[in-house]
Amino acid sequence: MSPFPYYIILLIFFPMSLFAISNQLFGCGIYIQNDYYNLKNLSSSTDYLYNASTWGGNILSFNLCEKMNNPCSSGTSIYAKINYTNTRTCKAIATGYDINSFSLQNDTLNSSMKMLTINYINYSTLCLEDSTKNYSTIINLHCNANVQTPLILAENVNCTIRIDFTSSNACSQLSIGILWQILEQDKIALALILMILGAVISFFGQRLFKPTLFLLGTLAVAFILVVSIISFVPINLF
């Protein structure tokens, strides 16, 4: 039997096994609760700046996914900082993040949506307002397909910097939650179907090469079409 049908089997089930991975960070992309977010689309080549009247002239700068292009000092790697204009002090308030810093929460701006929340890591920078605390930084990513230029709001409460970042690029890039729920609910039936298909291919694949190729090709195309439709049609999966 030609090995070609097995390549089609891999084409079908490798993406399924990839999408099944939950809460995994790959470079600038994260799979979480069967959704994929591409943070690379949110990184800035010039860093994001926030300078509101409520900050008293102080300037908040940060970046997403990528390290800051203009840190407090050359040679350092940080993700967020505050420039205190009165004291001419630059404070690095975020040095990085890891997989445990990501979570999906109910969107505080739109209750029918979910927002991806990132808790930045900061181990050593003491807060300028309270030297007994370290800075902590939280970024809430709000999905809004109508917002092309990011909208940024930020507040500093007791040395906790909370940033609300709204953008079309903050939306999930791929949503297969419905498909995965169906597969999960009918996993026994799916397993039986796959066992039967595997048995047919093992015993009759060489004799029925063309029907086998047609069957597997049809399944592969159907799966790709379903994933494509779910990927590009906005559906509230949560």
* CA–CA gap between residue 209 and residue 198 (Å, rounded): 14
- Under DSSP, is residue 189 helix (H, G, I), strand (E, B) or coil? helix
Range among 109-113, 138-142, 191-195 with highest mean pLDDT value? 138-142
Percent helix, percent strand, percent coil in the chain, to nearest 5: 35, 30, 35
Res. 110 pLDDT band, cuts 50 70 90: confident
Question: Residue 135 falls within a domain, yes or no?
Answer: yes
Res. 179 pLDDT band, cuts 50 70 90: low
> Is pTM beyond 0.75 here?
no
Question: Residue 86 falls within a domain, yes or no?
Answer: yes
Asked if 164 and 183 sit in the same domain, the reply is no
Question: Residue 32 falls within a domain, yes or no?
Answer: no
* CA–CA gap between residue 92 and residue 189 (Å, rounded): 54
Is residue 41 pLDDT above 60, yes or no? yes
Asked if 51 and 129 sit in the same domain, the reply is yes
Asked if 160 and 213 sit in the same domain, the reply is no
Eight-class DSSP state of 17: H
Mean pLDDT, range 76-84, rounded to an integer = 91
Asked if 161 and 184 sit in the same domain, the reply is no
Asked if 98 and 209 sit in the same domain, the reply is no
Range of the domain at 220: 4-24+176-232
